[in-house]
Amino acid sequence: MSILSRRTFLKQNAILGVGAALSPALPAMALPAVSPSVPAILGGTPLLKTEWPKWPRWNPETDEPKLLEVLRSGVWSRAGVTAEFEQKWASALGVKRSLLVVNGTNALTIALNQLDIRAGDEVLIPPYTFIATAAAVLANGAMPVFVDVDPETFQIDPARIEAKITPRTKAIMPVHILGLPADMPAIMAIAKKHNLVVIEDACQAHLAEINHQKVGTLGQAGCFSFQNSKNLAIGEGGAIVSNDDAFMDRCFSYQNFGYPYGNVVGSVSTGSIRQGSKLRITDYQAAIGLAQLARLDAETTTRNTNAAYLKSRLAAIPGIIPYKLYDHVTRGAFHLFPFRYRQEGFSGLSRAAFLKALQAEGVPCSSGYATLNDQLFLKDAFASKNFRKSYPREMLNFEEYVARNACPMNARLCNEEAVWFTQNMLLGTRQDMDLIADAVARVHQYADTIRKQTNR
Ligand SMILES: *Cc1c(COP(=O)(O)O)cnc(C)c1O
């Protein structure tokens, strides 16, 4: 044993209360086994041996008959099963219409397009989101403008929106990020005052609610994703929802080559009445969606119950600041369970070292998003011919854009504080939640030792 590792070993065991019993002359072989409470990262036994609930879920007995029926029918393109899913999704949300399309990214792109958000327009979005939010804006030739987040809720901060409104601003695209609702009452009031369209990116927020109203149904349009990781998983898939019939007819038309709404898919005789594309889902995807939709409500309740309990336990640990929900939130979707990590509360242990120690205990966790508002895809878009023809040069200088769009709260979340658990973990038992909290508490208790021994 080197002098250095002996010193760290003695320090570790002094904390365990066994150091005093050790003779410094003892050879390493004769040392007693480490106490069961030692963190796994320091050689202890991991707290969790749990197999986390698998995602996505699939029950052959209940889920396969409908899927097999579609496969054997040979009607694989969009048809009756897609219409059935759309009707059920709309009714689950309490909204008039729903349109199923290839994915959430294109749901957002179509919705912006059919609300006439185009080149020369600015769209306000939060930087704490998946890249698809910004990509949908750029795909329509519009300019994403970033509004910093409220670090307590992780959501777009309504108090920072008005300062970002210019004569070019046409829309706000709040994102209910992590499945926690954004402050829609405040956002809708600002939108009304400035005559802006609101498109909700609800791609992570299936069945989340504000004042018992489902998110995605509060703005002019809402968009969902059914990508494999999402709370309703199809593999790929997305939906646009709205109470505006004319808008929904246009969206349908757009995803079907611009054929008039009501046209049977596959018929080409009527001609196209608008510029469109082909972004249709298949009926076998819709059949998978129907199977998942059948358990979404119960799963959402489980996630809410477990999240509230886990939050109450984690809040008691110094240095851990769980998410906050706005007062008017009546249900979360909890696509992720987020909290802020403060290394001051953990004897200066870095977030990266904390995550490693927690993972060693058997708790999957991550630091979440990287900053979005300074990435090179923006520079690439600004260099395109379409952007150069649509905006004055000074708007397209990348360095100046990054400076104008600086979001310090977001940077702190991304670079220092945010920690995520995934939604499938919230489908575990209450004992699983206790074990997660115990693991965090264990890392907290040994934070100083972990920092010194792992040099982080
Ligand atoms: C997943 C996601 C999207 C895009 O959905 P896809 O179905 O993956 O295209 C958009 N916005 C957010 C916030 C998402 O999480």
Which of 149, 225, 279 maximizes ligand 1 atoms within 8 Å of its Cβ, making it the mutation to test the pocket?
225
Assign residue 411 a region (left: φ > 0; alpha: ψ between -120 and 50; beta: otherwise): alpha
- The response to whether residue 423 sits with its C-beta less than 6 Å from ligand 1 reads no
Q: Does domain 60-290 have CATH number 3.40.640.10?
A: yes
Report the b/e string of 347-363 with b at 16+ CB within 10 A. Answer: eebebebbbbbbbbbbb
Residue 11 has pLDDT above 60, yes or no: no
User: In whole angstroms, what is the distance from residue 137 CA to residue 112 CA?
Assistant: 7
Q: How far is the CA of 22 from the centre of ligand 1 (A)?
A: 56
- For the chain, give every domain's residue range: 3-33, 60-290
Residue 350 has pLDDT above 60, yes or no: yes
Which of 99, 128, 175, 204 maximizes ligand 1 atoms within 8 Å of its Cβ, making it the mutation to test the pocket?
204
- The response to whether residue 227 sits with its C-beta less than 6 Å from ligand 1 reads yes
Per-residue pLDDT, 202? 99
pLDDT tens string 145-164: 999 999 999 999 999 999 99
Interhelix angle 351-360/447-454, nearest 10 degrees: 100
pLDDT tens string 72-90: 999 999 999 999 999 999 9
Per-residue pLDDT, 35? 57
pLDDT tens string 152-209: 999 999 999 999 999 999 999 999 999 999 999 999 999 999 999 999 999 999 999 9
pLDDT tens string 393-444: 999 999 999 999 999 999 999 999 999 999 999 999 999 999 999 999 999 9
- The response to whether residue 132 sits with its C-beta less than 6 Å from ligand 1 reads yes
